[in-house]
A and B are shown apart, each in its own frame.
Chain A
């Protein structure tokens, strides 16, 4: 990706929520739609980072759902003001 292409990507990501969502799910295809070609290494890097987020989320879900799904949660309640100030 050239600097100009990166800037183009940034602009689309900032201004177009639908594009951002598409880019997050499939970076190479989304970039191609606006005329930016990701190198194989760049596409791999994007996919790997996203895959890590997904993997961590799935691991989180597995633990939480195993112990807590549908169970009433008894959280700690913090006084409003100190929490928000």
Chain B
């Protein structure tokens, strides 16, 4: 399984597209003992399956000593450990090399470096380039993660060419979703969308736990809402949360049919007009439905129907 941990909300940047509104004035952090406990529980639950810890924030490198301990712990548990950063710490080639040597030495297997128009307001692109060059030097797999609005001066090909030339092993380009920093909006034209309803099942369900213990089905922007909630990891048993993650009604439908199931149910109830005529991808459709109160109510009904039917079928059998 993949356990994604949002270690805290503190960040040196306050990017406009950050759906969790992280920034320099935020102070919430996940306690280290909670991180260690959750990693241990995930490892215990992952008998025989690949285990991965995906660390993000906020900016996890702001507390490098703790990050190193957490990476080392995940590594000791036999997991692949990845982390996302904005690369602010790459103030010189030497510093970048030293930081990446330390995280690689602790057991980090992959580093994601966020770079976008939004990040560049706070972190110069030169620092990301230094981090990528240092990653290549120390042999750490680096992925550039680029959130791209429609008006971005760089097209996808140019972003890919820049990142690979700077030393990235991989480039991931995302459409910006309409779940931005609290209070901010973008003109509709900034969202890259294709006309129609995207088909397909959930591309990447991830068991995600936020700094306050709230657990969710995925970490796509706009998904830390009750619709995707699994419960709180500080209050509920880990196994109970995991059961919901794997077998909750919403989760089963997303894995088996995808959010189009909810879209069809909404249309059958006369709510097709609440769907947009175009979407970026499956995740955009899913988070749109989940964030629209009327559509989300229909989707929740579908999930309840499925759960209830499954139990009734079982009751009929025993």
Residues of A within 8 A of B (CB): 1, 6, 9-10, 13-14, 17, 20-26, 41-42, 45-46, 49-50, 53-54, 57-58, 60-62, 64-66, 68-80, 83-85
Contact = CB atoms under 8 A, between A and B. Distances in A.
Contact of B314 (A22, A49, A77): A49
Interface string B261-298: 00110010000100101010111000000000000000
Nearest to A38: B318
B203 to A, nearest CB: 5
B123 to A, nearest CB: 20
Given A62-B49, A83-B263, A10 B312 contact: yes
A85 B199 CA distance: 15
Contacts of B308: 13-14, 20
Contacts of B196: 77-80, 83
A66 B198 CA distance: 21
B157 interface: no
A76 B243 CA distance: 30
B317 interface: yes
A14 B311 CA distance: 10
B198 A75 contact: yes
Label chain A's interface by main secondary structure.
helix
A10 B315 contact: yes
B317 A80 contact: no
A25 B49 contact: no
Contact of A73 (B1, B49, B281, B307): B281
B239 A25 contact: yes
Nearest to A1: B318
Chain B interface bracket (under 10, 10 to 19, 20 to 34, 35 or more): 35 or more
B143 A70 contact: yes
A72 B174 contact: yes
Contact of A60 (B194, B255, B304): B255
B282 A73 contact: yes
14 contacts: A25-B237, A53-B310, A57-B252, A58-B49, A61-B2, A64-B201, A73-B282, A74-B281, A75-B200, A76-B200, A77-B198, A80-B195, A80-B197, A84-B275
Interface in B43-64: 49-50, 52
Contacts of B145: 70
A17 B279 CA distance: 32
Given A25-B244, A72-B172, 5 more contacts: A54-B243, A61-B255, A74-B281, A78-B199, A80-B272
Contacts of A75: 198-200, 281-282
B204 A65 contact: yes
Contact of A80 (B50, B174, B277): B277
B246 interface: yes
A73 B243 contact: no
Given A64-B203, A78-B196, A72 B255 contact: no
B271 to A, nearest CB: 10
B205 interface: yes
Looking at B267, B275, B318, the one whose CB has the most chain A CB atoms below 10 A away is B318
